[in-house]
Structure 1
Amino acid sequence: MTGSNPKSFGGPALFSYGFRPFFLAASVFAVAAIVIWMLVLDGSLTIAGPFTPTDWHVHEMLFGYASAVIAGFLFTAIPNWTGRMPKRGWPLFFLLSLWIAGRLACAGLFGPGAVVAMLIDTGFLAAIVAMIVVEIVAGRNWRNLMVVVPVLILFGANLMFHIEALTYGSADTGRRLGLAVVIFLITLIGGRIIPSFTRNWLVKRNPAHLPAPAGRFDAVCLLVGAAALLTWAFHPDGRVTGVLLLIAAALHFMRLRRWQGLRTGPSPLLLMLHVAYGFVPLGLAANAAASFDLLPAAVGVHLLGIGAIGGMTLAVMMRASLGHTGHALVAGPVLTAAAGMVFLAALVRVCFPDVSFAGITGLWIAALLWAAGFSLFALRIGPYLARTNRKPT
């Protein structure tokens, strides 16, 4: 694997490869952000940043946590696509510092200036886009240049979020657009890695009924899904939005079935990718129901946000971290439990948010499950990320 041996890098192992600092930072932030959010909800804490409390929570999950994972994934995948050396050392340190500065600015720790917070926060994704373009163009890997488009749209969604909050006091459209772009990235990247990983695993064990290869059906799924998500982002209510979301949900469910996920039970590390993707059609269908006033809007949002985004990013971080640090691609009981907690958090959040269990609301239980899942990841994988590889990969 090109450039993946940190022994050729003289600096700290943490900055020897893109996934290391960003996966570790994302997992720690996932825990901290949800605890802070629950304390804000309880009235025990206030945030003096440029957003309302709800906007801060949504923004930091999408443009804080998810953006860090996306950056770590891209800076790990791009060297494989281009054959060039990975970004390491000072460029990674600069990007991580810019990301941290964005989190502090959005929490109001640099003062109440909304414009300053916007410039600092959006600078991270702008830098990511610029570095991706430079690497892909330099490597002449034109086919993967399309990955820049959704990341650029994510940057635009973040900018819109800030401007909308500054102008109207709340970023309702920005929330949905940010969520829509991250979900589209999951369908785009997940459609590459999930059937590929599944095929490779099944070929070594039972090659009958391998995942269907990518083709026109997958392209239709992506196009319809993108249309449905964009329509929902700007017009969440109404018959047209509901119908589009239902069609997209059905297509992505059929797409998932073509990947033979039910046969991956003996490999939790692989199965969790399929389970996480399963939350995409569930969330789309729930949002369709919400557009017809059949469900609260929060149901679909949290199925997508916790189950699809949280579950998929956690599973991808596990697999990439294990593989690129020279460890076997085996989840083991700790990482399997971590993923299970995040999936359970999604179900508790949408099914029992206001039910009290032994004096603790379902909302708090869901938050604690989320925090526990990412804490297990950080404790188990964190040492791998901070030290040199066990062996070259």
Structure 2
Amino acid sequence: MHASSKPAALLQLGFRPFFLGGALYAALAIPLWIAGFFGHLGGLQPAGGWLIWHQHEMLFGFGGAIVAGFLLTAVQNWTGVPGLAGRPLALLAGIWLAARLAWLLNAPLWLLIPLDLAFFPAVAISMAISLGKVKQTRNYPIVLVLALLAVANLVALIGLQQGDYSLLRQGSQGALWLVVALMSLIGGRVIPFFTSRGLGRNTQPQPIEWLDNALLVGSIVLSLLMLSGFGLKQQLWQAPLYALLAAGHGVRLLRWHDRGLWQVPLLWSLHLAYAWLVIALLAMTCWHLGWSIGFSQATHLLAIGSMSGLILAMTARVTLGHTGRPLQPPASMSVAFLFINLAVPARVWLTSVWPQPGYWVAAICWGIAFGLFLWHYAPMLTRMRIDGRPG
């Protein structure tokens, strides 16, 4: 390919537009949500109102962008099939952006719903085509999870169309546990690999196949419970499901641990995010047992500490690797990793004793974390690889 026919840097590979767009959306959306929720934005009302917008967009908007960026990049490494780039990638990113604007600006549902519905099926089809070309059955479950994310979004959008808050909640919560399924699947592969590589170890803990499969299936089961509405009901019989998954993920975390990782920001940020998953599962166990923790608290342990913490750590590392840079993040990214973790107690506990200021403290911590990422990584994502290779 001639240099003049290459796509612009931002459209070279999926991680570029979606990591940038997802991080920018995250940095803007949380302060916007807090300001809107407390009535500081006048007449501006997104589709469904601020609470619905927040629940949907942090999963399907922010989370969806990062999931797409990571998978559309990783599938090229897995299969050797060139990843989505150029105009097709621009079209997919444009659909994602248009849907975000449609939600925020309260566009007519005849426009908003088709725009928002199109994204996950398009990502799933792109993944399926790449995997199918080399018959890589090992990664077919990822296509299943993407298809289920499309179903979860459909449930949420039906709720929006019908004004049914419970359906909106079921769709968003179902999506959260599907993201956990991806975290379990991908994290189980890359966290021990990154840890051994980052510490210069010659070996890494071998996976326990039955445990890995059980954790993936368990996360999908929890997602289906949420989609059906049963997962939103406080029921004693569900507590053992969460406790078993907490134990399984805890075993993984202990097997992956190496004392040296606490000296490496790109590693301790990954392990700490995975630890929040164990804590969130234990919190959900306690909620179903009727102990003194709320469903929202448990959910935010998962959504901020684990999902968003893992997103920040993974995007920081993946961007370095795929732009040809040494795996050494800017020094202030340690501050970003610290602040995303400080946002967890601020949102989960501080808001219960000091409500409005607590939300703002959490939002500021979150904003610092993603602001630092954008400051350092936006130039990397919008410029060609420094080693001259494509991607």
In the superposition, the TM-score normalised over structure 1's length comes to 0.91
Comparing 229-238 with 382-391, which one deviates more in the overlay? 229-238
Quote the Cα distance in structure 2 between the aligned partners of 1:118 and 1:254: 41
Out of 101, 104, 127, the position equivalent to 2:101 is 104
User: How far 1:229 moved relative to its partner?
Assistant: 4.5
Q: Does 1:224 align with 2:218?
A: yes
Give the % identical residues. Answer: 32
Which residue number corresponds to residue 136 of structure 1? 131
The answer (yes or no) to whether the contact 1:15–1:92 under 8 Å persists in 2 is yes
1:347 and 2:345 aligned: yes
Cα gap change, 1:126/1:319 in structure 2, threshold over 3 Å: closer, same or farther?
same
Residue in 2 that maps onto 1:16: 12
Moved more, 382-391 or 8-17: 8-17
Q: Is the 8 A contact 2:180 2:219 kept in 1?
A: no
- Structure 1 contact 261–271 (Cα < 8 Å) conserved: no
Q: Within 1, Cα distance between the matches of 2:244 and 2:138?
A: 28
Aligned to 1:146: 141
- 1:179-190 correspondence runs (5 A): 179-190=176-187
How big is the shift at 1:309?
0.9
Give the CA deviation at 1:257.
1.0
DSSP-derived class of the 1:265 partner: helix
- Indicate the SS of the match to 1:77: helix
Contact preservation (8 Å) 1:23, 1:72: yes
Q: Quick one: structure 1 residues 293 and 348, their matched pair in 2 at CA, closer, same or farther if it must change by over 3 Å?
A: same
**Displacement of 1:143:** 2.3
Letter in 1 for 2:84: K
| 8 Å contact from structure 1 (residues 47, 53) kept in 2 | no
Answer yes or no: is the 8 Å Cα contact 1:322–1:328 preserved in 2: yes
In 2 relative to 1, CA 365–261 (structure 1 residues): closer, same or farther, beyond 3 Å?
Answer: farther
Q: 1:28, 1:374 within 8 Å by CA — same for their partners in 2? A: yes
1:1-393 alignment runs, 5 A limit: 10-45=6-41, 46-110=43-107, 113-170=108-165, 171-202=168-199, 204-205=200-201, 207=202, 210-232=204-226, 234-235=229-230, 236=232, 237-294=234-291, 295-356=293-354, 361-392=357-388
Question: What is the aligned length?
Answer: 382
SS in structure 2 opposite 1:121?
A: helix
Gaps of 5+ in 1: none
Q: Report the 3-state secondary structure (helix = DSSP H, G, I; strand = E; otherwise coil) of the residue aligned with 1:388.
A: coil
Provide the rounded CA distance (Å) in 1 between the counterparts of 2:117 and 2:245: 30
Q: In structure 2, how many angstroms separate the alpha carbons of the residues matched to 1:247 and 1:77?
A: 30
Name whichever of 281-290 and 56-65 sits farther off.
281-290
SS at match of 1:352: helix
Residues 52 and 169 in structure 1, CA contact (< 8 A), matched pair in contact too: no
TM-score, scaled relative to structure 2 = 0.92
| Alpha carbons 1:55, 1:175 under 8 Å: kept | no
- Aligned Cα root-mean-square deviation (Å): 2.1
Contact 1:49 1:114 in 2 (8 A): no
Q: Structure 2: which amino acid aligns with 1:373? A: A
Structure 1 residue 255: Cα displacement: 1.5
| CA distance in 2: counterparts of 1:177 and 1:261, whole angstroms | 33
Matched letter for residue 215 of structure 1: E
Aligned counterparts of 2:143 and 2:111: Cα–Cα separation in 1: 25
Q: CA deviation at 1:60?
A: 0.5
